[in-house]
Amino acid sequence: MVSDLFDPRAPAFLADPYPAFAALREQGPVHHHEGLGLAVAVSHAACSEVLRDRSAGRIWVDKEPASAFPAFNLLHRNSLLETEPPRHTRLRRLIAAAFGRGHTARLQPWVRSVADRLVDRLAAAIAADGRADLLAHLAAPLPVEVIAELLGVPEPDRPRLRPWSNAIVKMYEYGLPPEGAAAAERAAAEFAGYLRALAAARAREPGEDLISDLVAVRDGTDRLTGDELVGTAVLLLMAGHEATVNVIGNGVLALLRHRDQWERLAADPGGLLPTAVEELIRFDAPLQLFERTATEATAVAGYALAPGERIAALLGAAARDPAVFDAPDTLDIGRSPNPHLGFGAGIHYCVGAPLARVEIAAALQALVNRLPGLRLAAEPERRPEFVIRGLRTLPVTTRRAGRQETDTPKAARGSVTGWT
């Protein structure tokens, strides 16, 4: 039994949690974290077992006091991520049927065009000021645009989505102050109300968007309830937005700090984009911790769990396990195979994974085509959270040794492959 494994709020740990994870793996695959009040799995095998073990499920417990968080709790009670069979089986069948109507293929060319437009704006900002924030110009707006287009949110309403998502996901961090929790509840209530109105409009006038398909999807006489549709749409925004923002931000930072890998990708994006996307998800995981609750007496890697006890898969630790990945602390954009757990595993594997891969690949393609001389302009500012790992700012430039490099767009370079 190990206590005080790591302080999830310590700046040094937040800057680089991976040495602490490596030390824990050497001691054993599962430990009890006193501060978090649960067991944590740190090996790839143990994390995979946590994610796949049907004796450890996603058991939603309302945020207390429940009277203070009615909207936040409603969204999660009706979320695919927070349910178990048989309800999860039913929800996933309906949602997968709606997703299966070609939304990823429909959006793929459009995603590329949006990424190109955003990188052009990034390039213009760098040209004007000598530097610009890649988070603000590309990583943050791209996934919001994609999710909004997927759901069919009208363009004038799209600026509301990112603040809602940012506020709601704060609730997943440990030690959130009361004002943060209150902001999350307000955002949940506003977003739920907005989605109900949007779903009612799509029921009257269907479009080609996912909301229209979620309204219409049937399995015999079964259909999503209004609360389930809202919970699904909110999950897609939060999971799709937060994860993709942070893969792009963390990933570009890793590439710029490993210049050989950036230049390798710029030289052959058509051949390396598919493996580069997977490696960036692995190398600096955007989601570091994912909880399960034992529904019956079970064990993970020999660690006993009684019914009701919680265990978390530390996905960042699993991603650096030398038992699975050769040279796990090395960024290798050609790494294959790459069995990371970034999209989960088992019945809760991310339903939006194909679209997320398209977004990340489009962002990388646009960057290496239009700004092959991209470099860090200063040290980035990191978000002070552990569970969702990401940056607040990523200042970039094309200046080198006191001069402005000329970045000639290479639109004829390789295209995104592997996702069609």
Orientation angle between helical segments 178-204 and 70-77, nearest 10 degrees: 60
* 12 neighbors 382 (Cβ within 8 angstroms): no
**Phi, psi of 311, deg, nearest 5:** -140, 145
**Per-residue model confidence (pLDDT) at position 330:** 98
Return the SS3 of 211: helix
133 bridge partner residues: 395
What is the C-alpha to C-alpha distance for residues 320 and 327, in angstroms, rounded to an integer? 8
Backbone angles phi, psi at 399, to 5 degrees: -80, 145
Structure tokens, 229: 């549709």
Q: What is the structure's pLDDT at 237?
A: 84
Q: Is 65 exposed, middle or buried (0-12, 13-18, 19+ CB in 10 A)?
A: exposed
Q: Are 230 and 192 spatial neighbours (Cβ–Cβ below 8 Å)?
A: yes
Supply 70's token pair.
């009615």
Q: What pLDDT is stored for residue 4 in this prediction?
A: 66
What is the chain's pLDDT, residue by residue, as a tens digit (420 residues)?
A: 444 689 999 999 999 999 999 999 999 999 999 999 999 999 999 999 999 999 999 888 899 999 999 999 999 999 998 999 999 999 999 999 998 889 999 999 999 999 999 999 999 999 999 999 999 999 999 999 999 999 999 999 999 998 998 899 888 887 889 999 999 999 999 999 999 999 999 999 999 999 999 999 988 889 999 999 999 999 888 877 888 999 999 999 999 999 999 999 999 999 999 999 999 999 999 999 999 999 999 999 999 999 999 999 999 999 999 999 999 999 999 999 999 999 999 999 998 899 999 999 999 999 999 999 999 999 999 999 999 999 999 999 998 744 444 444 443 333 332 222
Residues 6+ apart with CB under 8 A from 407: 123, 370, 371, 372, 373, 374, 398
One-letter identity of residue 353:
A
Domain 11-404 has CATH 1.10.630.10: yes
> How confident is the model at residue 84, as a pLDDT?
93
Q: Which residues pair with 312 in a beta bridge?
A: 40, 291
CA separation for the pair 35, 40 (Å, rounded): 11
Q: Give the Cα separation of 88 and 81 in Å (integer).
A: 8
Amino acid identity of residue 89, one-letter, is T
- 348-360 burial, b if ≥16 CB within 10 A, otherwise e? bebbbbebbbbbb
User: What pLDDT, on a 0 to 100 scale, did the predictor assign at position 400?
Assistant: 75
